[in-house]
Amino acid sequence: MLSDRLTKWSGPILIILGALCVAIIAAPDLTSRSTVTQWVFTSALRIERVLPLVALGAAFSMISSRQFLCAGSFFILGIVLGFQIQGWFMSMIVAVSRAPEHTFMTGPISCLATGLLLLLPDRVRPWIAAPAATVTGAMLVIAIKSTDPSWHKATISCVGILAGCWIVAAVSLTAKAFYQKWFPIAGRIFGSWLLAIGCLYGSASFVARPALPPAQPQEEQTPPADFERLFPDFDRPRHEMAPETQPPQSGPHLP
Amino acid sequence: MRHAQNNLRRMAALAYSLTQAALFVFIPAVAEAHIVMGEASGFASGFKHPLAGPDHFMAMFAVGLWGAQMGGRSIWVLPVIFPLIMVVGGFIGVSGMYLPGIETGIALSIVVLGLSIAFAWKPAEWIPILLIVVFAICHGYAHGKELPRAADPADYAIGFVIATGLIHLCGIGVGLALHKPFAGKLARAIGALIAMGGVYFLVV
> What is the rounded distance in angstroms from the CA atom of residue B188 to the CA atom of residue B116?
9
| pLDDT average, residue stretch A49-71 | 93
Least confident of A236-240, A251-255, B167-171: A251-255
b/e map of A213-223 (b: 16 or more CB within 10 Å)? eeeeeeeeeee
Query: DSSP label at A63?
Result: S
B136: enclosing H helix or E strand: helix B126-146
Residues 6 or more apart whose CB falls under 8 angstroms from that of B155 comprise A47, A48, B42, B43, B46
Q: Is residue A110 part of a domain?
A: yes
pLDDT tens readout for residues A162-181 = 999 999 999 999 999 988 88
Q: Does A211 touch chain B (CB under 8 A)?
A: no
Among A residues 182-201, those touching chain B with beta carbons less than 8 Å apart: 185, 188-193, 195-197, 199-201
Distance CA A10, CA A7 (A): 5
How far away is chain A from the Cα of B204, in angstroms, using its nearest Cα? Answer: 30
Contact A62, A188 (CB under 8 A): no
Inter-residue contact B115 to B184 (CB < 8 Å): no
Helix-strand-coil split of chain B, %, nearest 5: 80, 0, 20
Q: How many domains does chain B have?
A: 1
B152/B46 Cα distance (integer angstroms) = 10
Contact A189 B84 (CB under 8 A): no
CB contact (8 A) between residue B154 and residue A204: yes
Choose the weakest-confidence range: A3-7, A10-14, A190-194: A3-7
Quote the pLDDT of residue A109: 92
Q: What pLDDT does B18 receive?
A: 44
Domain span at A200: 2-206
Q: Is B150 on the interface with A (CB under 8 A)?
A: yes
In a domain, A141, yes or no: yes
Output the pLDDT for position B115: 95
User: Hey, is the C-beta of B120 within 8 angstroms of any chain A C-beta?
Assistant: no
Closest C-alpha to B161, from B84, B66, B52 = B84
List of chain B residues whose C-beta atoms are within 8 Å of the C-beta of residue A107:
154
3-class secondary structure for B9-42?
A: HHHHHHHHHHHHHHHHHHCCCCCCCCCCCCCCCC
Report residue B33: phi and psi, to 5°: -60, 145
Instruction: Tell me if A222 is assigned to some domain.
Output: no
Which pLDDT value is given to residue A181? 86
The CB-side HSE value for B35 (13 A sphere, CA atoms) comes to 20
Instruction: Identify the domain containing residue B149 by its residue range.
Output: 2-203
pLDDT band at A75 (very low <50, low <70, confident <90, very high): very high
User: Is B148 in contact with A204 (Cβ distance < 8 A)?
Assistant: yes
> In which band, very low, low, confident or very high, does the pLDDT at A254 lie, cut at 50, 70 and 90?
very low
A115 contacts: CB under 8 Å, gap ≥ 6: A55, A191, A192, A193, A194, A195, A196, A197, A198
Q: Roughly what angle, to the nearest 10 degrees, separates helices B74-95 and B126-146?
A: 40
Are the beta carbons of B190 and B65 closer than 8 angstroms? yes
Confidence band, pLDDT 50/70/90 cuts, at residue A61: very high
pLDDT of res. A250: 47
Q: How many domains does chain A have?
A: 1
User: Which of A131, A135, A106 lies closest to A120 in space, CA to CA?
Assistant: A131
Residue A217 lies in a domain: no
> For A213, left (φ over 0), alpha (ψ -120 to 50), or beta?
beta
Helix axes A125-146, A65-93, angle to 10 degrees: 40
Counting as low any pLDDT under 70, the low residues of chain B are 1-41, 148, 151
Q: Name every residue whose Cβ is closer than 8 Å to that of residue A122 and which is 6 or more positions away in sequence.
A: A62, A184
Cα angle for residues B47, B49, B52 (degrees, 5° grid)? 110
Q: How far is B109 from chain A (nearest CA, A)?
A: 20
The enclosing domain of A43 has a CATH number of 1.20.1250
Residue A142 phi/psi, 5-degree rounding, is -65, -40
Contact B87 A201 (CB under 8 A): no
- Helix/strand/coil for B93: helix
The answer to whether residue B169 neighbours chain A at the CB level (below 8 Å) is yes
Residue A218 within a domain? no
Window from A9-23, A133-147, A155-169, B10-24 with minimum mean pLDDT? B10-24
Minimum CA–CA partner of B44 in chain A: A47
Please give the pLDDT value at position A101.
72
- Strand locations in A116-216, DSSP E? none
